[in-house]
Amino acid sequence: MASATGAEAHGDGRRSSDAAGVIVLGACAAWAVISASAHGGRPEGMLLAVLAVAAGHSAGRISGALLPVAAPCAAALGGLGLAIATPYLTPGAQSGVPLGEAGATAALLALSTGAACCAAWAASAPSLRLLLRLLACGIATAAVALGTTAGAVLCAIVLLCSLAAGGMRSRGLGVAGLATAAALVTVALWAVAERALPDGLAVSLESRLTAKRVELWQDAVRLAHDDLLLGVGPGRFGELSPAAAGAPFPDGKPHSAPLQMLAEQGVVGLVLLGAAFVWVLHTLWRNARTTPVALTAGAALTAVAAVSAVGNALSFTTVSVGAGLLAGLATARPLAEQPYEAGARSGG
């Protein structure tokens, strides 16, 4: 009876998480249209991002259920191949843009490392598990070879978190830690944009972040004050920001996902972005996969959230699809476990 109760609880939690995901992603798409209609913005970018995440998540759930080890391994190899073949993900290098394409490459490598580690935890054979962990280490080494310091750091963090997850008994504590880390990055970002830090620390951070990036963030905060509820409209930051217009490689973005949502779609848009991240963490917390798989995927997705807070990673469809794919892979219930679940529910 205890196993039946546990299986039913997992099933109920899975259904509630799925329903919450549909509501959150639908609300993100709907609010982009509402904000655009109020100020004449262009919601297509947000709609594409929502579609990319949903498509990636669906593909991950299906492939992860059919091939719980091979699917994340293939995703890791695919992400690595994409990073090597197209190191800037788009034609034309724009190295002068703060953490632009370099941030997207770093995020893609972090997702690939997370996928390889998830595949390792899902494997039962010790030799295969070791091989997959070596693949994860190889992705981190490739990040160094590609010259992306951010990517190497993120891959190392994901690897360490994955190893630590193997010894954690409380999944909730790990998920809470990941949520706290993402919140701290967002608070620090806000403090820099509002110049709320002590002068010495502010100067030190600005030298690392670059003055141009800080100017973009300050413009985003200023535009947010013009309409805190609706924002200035999706896609309109480049039209209204002096810093964006004067950038060496103008792309019309503040290079910060939270501040872009705040400036273009108001407080509601920012809250919906946070709700999407919370939904992913909640799904990882409530799903029936092992704790190491859930926390490894959570660490990789938190790394992507962090680099997206100070860069432009989420503006690239490959990153959005990859994030959704990893979340789907980590929450997919392998078909091999279904007979056991059915027996558990019947008391067998």
3-state secondary structure of 332: coil
Say if residue 169 is exposed, middle or buried (CB neighbours under 10 Å; 0-12, 13-18, 19+). exposed
The distance from CA 107 to its chain's CA centroid, rounded to whole angstroms, is 8
* Helix or strand holding residue 294 (H, E): helix 291-309
Residue with the bigger pLDDT between 193 and 56: it is 56
Amino acid at 163: L
Task: Write out the two tokens for 287.
Answer: 């799903």
Report the alpha-carbon distance of residue 296 to residue 7 in Å, rounded. 23
| Full DSSP string of 40-51 | T--THHHHHHHH
Q: How far is Cα 237 from Cα 98, in angstroms, rounded to an integer?
A: 16
**Has residue 8 got a pLDDT over 70?**
no
The two structure tokens encoding residue 331: 């929450």
Give the lowest-confidence range in 80-94, 109-123, 258-272. 80-94
Structure token pair of residue 326: 């990893």
Residues in CB range of 202: below 8 A, 6 or more apart: 192, 195
Q: How confident is the model at residue 251 (pLDDT cuts 50, 70, 90)?
A: confident
CA neighbor of 301 nearest in space, from 189, 185, 186, 179: 179
pLDDT of residue 5: 46
DSSP track, 136-169: HHHHHHHHHHTT-HHHHHHHHHHHHHHHHHTT-S
pLDDT in tens, 168-205: 888 999 999 999 999 999 999 999 888 887 877 878 77
Of 40 and 171, more confident: 171
DSSP string, 213-233: HHHHHHHHHHHHHH-TTT-S-
Non-local (6+) Cβ contacts of 157 within 8 A are: 110, 299, 303
pLDDT at 247: 67
pLDDT in the model for residue 270: 96
pLDDT in tens, 289-329: 999 999 999 999 999 999 999 988 888 999 999 999 999 99
DSSP 8-state assignment for residue 325: H
Q: What is the mean pLDDT of residues 230-236?
A: 91
In degrees, rounded to 5, the angle at the alpha carbon of residue 229 between the alpha carbons of residues 223 and 230 is 70
Residue 126 has pLDDT above 70, yes or no: yes
Angle between helices 291-309 and 257-286 in degrees, nearest 10: 180
The Cα diameter of the chain in Å comes to: 68
> What confidence category does residue 248 fall into, taking pLDDT thresholds of 50, 70 and 90?
low
Helix (H/G/I), strand (E/B), else coil: 180: helix
**pLDDT for position 81:** 93
Residue 344 above 80 pLDDT?
no
